Structure 1
Amino acid sequence: MTAAEPKGLLAGGAVARWPLPAFDEGEVQGEAPAALRQGTLRLGLLSNANSGRNRRQLDRLEALAQRYPHVTHLPTGHGGEVREALAEFARREIDVLAINGGDGTVARVLGELLEHEPFSRRLPLALLSGGTANMTAGRLGVRGSLTRAARRLFDWSAGRHRGACEMLSRPILRVRFADGRDNAYGMFVGAGAVIQGTEYAHRKLHARGLRDNAGLAIAVARTLWGLSRGDCRFKRPVRLCLSLDGHAVLEEASASILLVSSLPRLFCGVRPFWGEGAGAVRTTVIGGDAEYLLRRLPRLLAGRPGTSLCAAEGFYSYTGHRLSLRLDGELNLDGELHRVRRCHGPVTVERGGDFTFLRL
């Protein structure tokens, strides 16, 4: 891992995303879902051996996978092994790729697929909840505990209960850094109080075993309460500049919260985006001087601005194809923290590609 890479990539102590995307169930424009042939499908299962739940259950999962001849299970321990595993799956000509890990693992593998294209076609994906934070798999993956979900997936790929599967096409964001580090991928980018909320969840909640929905709900509520009361542990506005599709929309603005996503819904069905226009990049900024946040929260979370959520009151929302961002601080990309400096140039966020997820 180089100094430019984010901390904790594929590490066991994953940092919680805030807010974690809860993927919208509506149609998303993109590639048509991949067609699956009848009969047994060759399944490649990539497991992050360092992810939270995998550290306890990987041996049991491996024993289960060995009962299914059409399943190839490859555990990985670091980023380089991910690329090697994908190349091995390509040699075996698998039909479906399963990813077993947390949210950071999923984002890393999707980035590898987009950057290096190890397969001749875009494979359908199945997600298993093997990490510390598993919101992506929780909404788009195979339901149930890790081993139960794996058994259901292995049986399905063997041709059983084939009609029980939904196929959901969803976009992923590509984040380009001007300082030369590798592109990063994910479905949510946040800054400002998002970082403080992430730190609070990691410090106060994960140590007590509060993860996934329960821990996230507490972290979000505590962060919003801290912002509304001007608590300096949460209200630390950042200065930023935003351009959308080549046009400046915010110049040297103070922001308490920056939210960017390729999806209209975030955690618990929240819709904090109301900007009109085409494109996959949705952006909302809550200004550092925005007041009466709790009073305006229902409209903010529902994406219904009315007259109170407007630029004059410090609330901004945009939709476009390419976002250019300058700030000094940290960005949260699906739980991975990336430190950026405006002197290095802008960070660009755009649609990186679309994937088909198998929902079982």
Structure 2
Amino acid sequence: MNTRPRIALLSNPRSTGNIAQLPRIRAFCAEHPDVFHYEVEHAHQIGDAMRTIARVQPKLLVINGGDGTVQAALTELHNGGHFQGAAPPVAVLPSGKTNLIAMDLGIQGDPVRSLEKLIDLARSDFSSSLVDRELIALSFEENGDKPVIGMFLGGAGLADIMLYCRNRIYPLGLPNGISHVITAFAVVLRQVIGLKAKFLPPEPRPLRVSVHKGGAITGKFALLAVTTLEKLLLSGELGSAGGGPLKFVAVEQRAGSLLGAFFASLGGRLGRTKLTGVHVEEADAISIEGDSSDVILDGETFRAERGRPIFLRPATPLSFVRLAA
């Protein structure tokens, strides 16, 4: 009988969802020898985790944490070289506050139930459930050797909003849904109505964004996003030109542009309808330069400075498990 674990589960106990769910997950793993469970509390421990998981040789790697945990794991998979040949396919459980990556892959709801489905898949040929996803490689050098790997980057006003929610609203201890509603209300007051107050997100700083082969745009942007996910913000799919794997959206800091992008996104027309102050492209390479302006790649914050731009390029694609709804 083959007793080798079919699934390696990498958990971050500090992720929001795991605070309540991890005891159930631990009990589930104890009852299922198909699962090899490894817990980390800090990003610097993920390298050791991957070395150990590589020796187990699982058919499937499941990441149980928020987008930041996923980003750290993807970075280690890309840079670490722990697996002989290709890394195993990856599945993501929604255990953080935003879970954009898990949502994009159709994995939602109870994590134990998702684990049960993944075990069933790993016991069979699950090639039909695999999808290849492009990844974003972020570095501060045009040919950086060891980039940070992720799938969603927010910059300009979007990064300010994400940091505002993380640093000002989440500490209030409110449920995620209420926290996001309060943040959305603050965004309307600040970016649509134009109200300025200390309790609201700050005004975006100027940025220069170069979309290679597409020229450069400069200004203040209410929203800037780069992603390889299929679902971007409120839009099911993004219509854009350029043909590159990096999907890029920037909305200038004007109420009309922001509202136009919002309603186009709701209607699935973002990138398909030309809107003043709304830039939508697909690119092979992007650089971002700013006046100490923050960008966030899957939960980790970086700062774009003048003379020290951030470079974004596609990384080697990775196979992910996508569960049917």
Partner in structure 1 of residue 243 of structure 2: 278
Is this contact kept in 1: 2:295–2:302, CA < 8 A?
A: yes
C-alpha deviation, 1:220, in angstroms: 4.3
Partner in structure 1 of residue 138 of structure 2: 175
Structure 2 residue 208 is the aligned partner of structure 1 residue 241 = yes
The unaligned stretches of length 5 or more in structure 2 are none
Partner in structure 2 of residue 322 of structure 1: 285
**Post-superposition CA distance 1:152-193 (Å, at most 9, x none):** 33344345xx77973222221111124989622222212222
Is this contact kept in 2: 1:324–1:346, CA < 8 A?
A: yes
CA distance in 2, matches of 1:219, 1:52: 18
Is this contact kept in 1: 2:17–2:96, CA < 8 A?
A: yes
C-alpha deviation, 1:79, in angstroms: 1.9
Letter in 2 for 1:259: A
Partner in structure 1 of residue 152 of structure 2: 188
Partner in structure 2 of residue 25 of structure 1: none
Is this contact kept in 1: 2:294–2:301, CA < 8 A?
A: yes
Identity level (%): 26
CA distance in 2, matches of 1:129, 1:295: 31
CA distance in 1, matches of 2:272, 2:219: 20
Structure 2 residue 49 is the aligned partner of structure 1 residue 85 = yes
**Mapping of 1:1-360 within 5 angstroms?**
42-119=6-83, 120-140=85-105, 142-159=107-124, 166-178=129-141, 183-202=147-166, 203-204=168-169, 207-211=172-176, 215-216=179-180, 219-220=183-184, 222-224=186-188, 226-232=190-196, 233-234=200-201, 236-245=203-212, 248-250=215-217, 252-263=218-229, 265-269=231-235, 274-289=239-254, 291=256, 293-294=258-259, 297-299=262-264, 302-304=269-271, 306=273, 309-310=275-276, 314-328=277-291, 329-343=293-307, 345-360=308-323
Partner secondary structure for residue 58 of structure 1: helix
Is this contact kept in 2: 1:264–1:282, CA < 8 A?
A: no
Partner secondary structure for residue 215 of structure 2: strand
Letter in 1 for 2:194: G
Q: Which runs of 4+ in 1 moved over 6 A?
A: 162-165
TM-score (normalizing by structure 1):
0.75
**Post-superposition CA distance 1:292-330 (Å, at most 9, x none):** 6435632355215645x13xxx33233210001111210
Segment drifting more, 285-294 vs 44-53: 285-294
Partner secondary structure for residue 185 of structure 1: strand
**Post-superposition CA distance 1:15-72 (Å, at most 9, x none):** xxxxxxxxxxxxxxxxxxxxxxxx9872111111221222333233222112222321
**Post-superposition CA distance 1:169-228 (Å, at most 9, x none):** 2221111124989622222212222123213433235634332x6754663464245311
Letter in 2 for 1:342: R
- Between 1 and 2, higher relative CO (CA 8 Å, sep ≥ 6) is seen in 1
CA distance in 2, matches of 1:140, 1:306: 27
Shift of the 297–127 alpha-carbon distance from structure 1 to 2, 3 Å rule, reads closer
Between Structure 1 and Structure 2, how many residues are aligned? 313
CA distance in 2, matches of 1:206, 1:146: 25
